[in-house]
Structure 1
Amino acid sequence: MISMVTSNVRVVRSILAAAPHRSALRLLPSIDPRSSSLLQLSRSHTSPSLRTLAVVAARSSYSSLLSTEEPNMVKVKAIRVHELGGPEVLKWEEVEVGEPKEGEIRVRNKAIGVNFIDIYFRKGVYTKDLPFTPGMEAVGVVMAVGPGLTGIEVGDVVAYAGNPMGSYSEEQILPANAAVPVPSTIDHKVAASILLKGMTAYVLLRRCFKVEAGHTILVHAAAGGVGSLLCQWAKALGATVIGTVSTEEKAAQAAQDGCHHVIVHTKEDFVSKVNEITSGKGVNVVYDSVGKDTFQGSLSCLMSRGFMVSFGQSSGTPDPIPLSYLLPKSLFLTRPSLMHYTATRDELLAAAGEVFANVASGVLRVRVNHIYPLSDAARAHIDLESRKTSGSIVLVPDI
């Protein structure tokens, strides 16, 4: 840096000594503009035109120096995971968030949705490079937009669900094309609690298997975040809904959410009960987010050419089955990912639009039953894993 300044001063002195002055101007681009001594030279020279030349060089130096500095960083608090494990690995720490680049926005989160996929990443069921900030869903206010970005402005309220991970933070950088506008009629906590789960329900009910009037469906964890929405939406579509839950309290909620038949699986065998309810015919589709404990039974509940939709594994990864296991009833089996069904901007907007429209019409009623400070995310994970929660869980930043 010292040699650079010396070189700059030497070049400027030679320019100031040059004549004619117009020729000297052409030498200006050769200056490596980093020296604060340029301004001092501009003040000391007696010739007005050459003084002006040095001022130009000084300003060029200052502008160039600014452009090479690190971008402004905003310090915020976030949950960080440095090692995989239980809820205790969720650490409340200070992090730095930079300014948005081209195609990006910086958002101050107002409400953050908690989903079981957050636990999968924390445990290492799904892999992510360490350290990381968990969270796949949030609603917030746009604080800054990247250069040249149009269609979104500072002050807009937006939501996102899915990639990129990192919503357990007071602020975060998002790709602008991942954010969707939130209708002003929808509360921040409601939007944050329903977008990921609601788009998941949309994909399950309308894309993986298109539920229609006359169908009979089985929904496991019917009082959970996604399960509750599946029951409400499926009933509105005219389907007969059978739901499984773990307690009588959750059974009452599932009934309110549209289940025509509720099975408390801790008290009775759900396979036998489904067989009884359907008079031995089975169901058209099973939506199974439980995994290991229910997978085999779920397959047994399907009718001929039925659809098994496995979209979670709260009890663990299901045991593998041979392909021939599907043959006796020509069953279909899928393990969908929301991200594959919202891969394009049009698909994302369509899914989010369906969710918000059904909230506005009253088809989907959101229960935000549990609100925790963001700093207490570990307790939220403990309660979710121990099945103490029902409905949706929301974290609120401590700001």
Structure 2
Amino acid sequence: MSRTIKFAKAGGPEVLEFVETQVAAPGPAEVRIQVKAIGINRAESMWRNDDYIEPARFPAGLGYEAAGIVDAVGAEVAGIAVGDAVSVIPAFSMNQYFTYGEVVLVPAYAVVKHPASLSFAEAASVWMMFVTAYGALIEDAKVGKGDFVLIPAASSSVGLAAIQLANYAGATSVALTRTAEKRQQLIDAGAAHVIVTEEADLLQETMRITDGKGARVVFDPVGGPNFQKLVSALAFQGIAYIYGALSEGPTTLPVLDMIGKMTAVKAHNIWLTSGDEAGRKAAVAFVLKGLEEGALKPVIDRTFKFDDIVDAHRYLENNGQFGKIVVTV
């Protein structure tokens, strides 16, 4: 038996419930994991509100990331064995699999043997943050030396991953934050430049930092009315990726500016990489190499106990964290 988190209707954190469940033996291509830590993501808050990119089927489980010990494998699983310390890549629908549980079943293709140097809490933090940013910055945009990358909501886990990945690739990271409160933390986290958007003009500061050329890439989880400013701050043939909708306002575009500079706006999510076998393997190899070299490292803001999962979701929705929220089991 295992305690699993379920919710029978959409709503706030209080709809999350503990349910005693008999976890089945893994199917031929599945792995069963005794969970030690769970990474908490904004996507799961949206899922709980039934306001995500696919509708939830009730009663619904939730969770994309976890780390723990393998306790059973399916007959067709190769390379993963009972007793292995592993972590889970977001590469499935939460209508099919989920990670908020003491024991969970996940597809074998989403299971990775992470570096022994990582704690379970760190391992549960790695894949959403780094693979989401990798897909846009490394796989698609192929950022490198001479490129400037604008990173709104830079204190989020994916934002911090984008800073590290841009730096690792030789590009120049430009972190955006609303207030000066997190400026020094972002500098300490590796940001080459920080723009405090409530104190400085975004476009002017971007042009100053880039010697008037603009940023080659914007990597934005917010959208809303400020998105047009970000697009205007792009260089000739620059790319703006939008991978979230944190703003509740309409997202507008400076169409004539885009036509003049031939810029591109691309919708992005982790599935573009994690949902493709070759892309997923390349991302894992890249991230593991960065972790082993010390260029990449998950940043954990705060940990909660499994019994306090509701409090973890409330904390997530306060938007005050710097890095990843993790639940330990």
TM-score (norm 2): 0.91
Q: 1:98 aligns with which of 15, 24, 30?
A: 24
Establish whether residue 139 from structure 1 lines up as the match of residue 139 from structure 2. Answer: no
Give yes or no for contact 1:274–1:301 (8 Å, CA) kept in 2: yes
Correspondence list, 1:200-239, <5 A: 200-239=132-171
Q: Deviations over 1:190-228 (max 9, x none)?
A: 111112111112112111211110111111111210111
CA gap 1:290/1:328 in 2 versus in 1, 3 angstroms: same
**Corresponding residue SS for 2:62:** coil
CA apart distance, 1:148: 4.7
Residue in 2 that maps onto 1:281: 213
Figure out how many residues of one structure are paired with residues of the other and give that number. Answer: 323
Q: Deviations over 1:30-83 (max 9, x none)?
A: xxxxxxxxxxxxxxxxxxxxxxxxxxxxxxxxxxxxxxxxxxxxx211221211
* Runs of 4+ residues over 6 Å off in structure 1: 322-325
Q: 1:299 aligns with which of 225, 231, 249?
A: 231
Q: Deviations over 1:164-194 (max 9, x none)?
A: 4311111111111221112222221111111
Corresponding letter in the other structure for 2:248: G
Residue in 2 that maps onto 1:185: 117
Q: Which is greater in Rg?
A: 1
Give yes or no for contact 1:164–1:174 (8 Å, CA) kept in 2: no
Structure 1: how far apart are the matches of 2:211 and 2:255?
Answer: 27
CA RMSD, aligned part only? 2.0
Corresponding letter in the other structure for 1:79: I
Corresponding letter in the other structure for 1:119: S
**Corresponding residue SS for 2:184:** helix
Give yes or no for contact 1:284–1:306 (8 Å, CA) kept in 2: yes
Which 5+ residue runs of structure 1 have no aligned equivalent? 1-74
Instruction: Please identify, of 277-286 and 297-306, the stretch whose mean Cα deviation from structure 2 is larger.
Output: 277-286
Correspondence list, 1:203-352, <5 A: 203-316=135-248, 318-319=250-251, 321=253, 326-352=258-284
Percent of aligned pairs sharing the same letter = 33
Give yes or no for contact 1:83–1:131 (8 Å, CA) kept in 2: yes
CA apart distance, 1:253: 1.4
Give yes or no for contact 1:135–1:167 (8 Å, CA) kept in 2: yes
Structure 2: how far apart are the matches of 1:183 and 1:365?
Answer: 12
CA apart distance, 1:320: 5.4
CA apart distance, 1:267: 2.6
Corresponding letter in the other structure for 2:251: D
Residue in 2 that maps onto 1:355: 287
Establish whether residue 366 from structure 1 lines up as the match of residue 298 from structure 2. Answer: yes
Structure 2: how far apart are the matches of 1:198 and 1:220?
Answer: 16
Structure 2: how far apart are the matches of 1:178 and 1:236?
Answer: 25
CA gap 1:94/1:312 in 2 versus in 1, 3 angstroms: same
Structure 2: how far apart are the matches of 1:227 and 1:330?
Answer: 26
Q: 1:383 aligns with which of 309, 315, 326?
A: 315
Residue in 2 that maps onto 1:78: 4
Structure 2: how far apart are the matches of 1:219 and 1:151?
Answer: 37
TM-score (norm 1): 0.76
**Corresponding residue SS for 2:284:** helix
CA apart distance, 1:323: 6.5
Structure 1: how far apart are the matches of 2:51 and 2:88?
Answer: 23
Corresponding letter in the other structure for 1:85: G
Establish whether residue 115 from structure 1 lines up as the match of residue 115 from structure 2. Answer: no
Give yes or no for contact 1:100–1:145 (8 Å, CA) kept in 2: yes
Which 5+ residue runs of structure 2 have no aligned equivalent? none
Give yes or no for contact 2:86–2:112 (8 Å, CA) kept in 1: yes
**Corresponding residue SS for 1:140:** strand
Q: 1:89 aligns with which of 4, 12, 15?
A: 15
Instruction: Please identify, of 344-353 and 94-103, the stretch whose mean Cα deviation from structure 2 is larger.
Output: 344-353
Structure 2: how far apart are the matches of 1:227 and 1:250?
Answer: 13
Structure 1: how far apart are the matches of 2:250 and 2:169?
Answer: 30
Q: Deviations over 1:215-268 (max 9, x none)?
A: 111111112101111112212322222111133331111111222221122333
Structure 1: how far apart are the matches of 2:76 and 2:63?
Answer: 28
Higher relative contact order, chain-length normalized (CA < 8 Å, sep 6+): 2
**Corresponding residue SS for 1:185:** coil
Give yes or no for contact 1:136–1:167 (8 Å, CA) kept in 2: yes
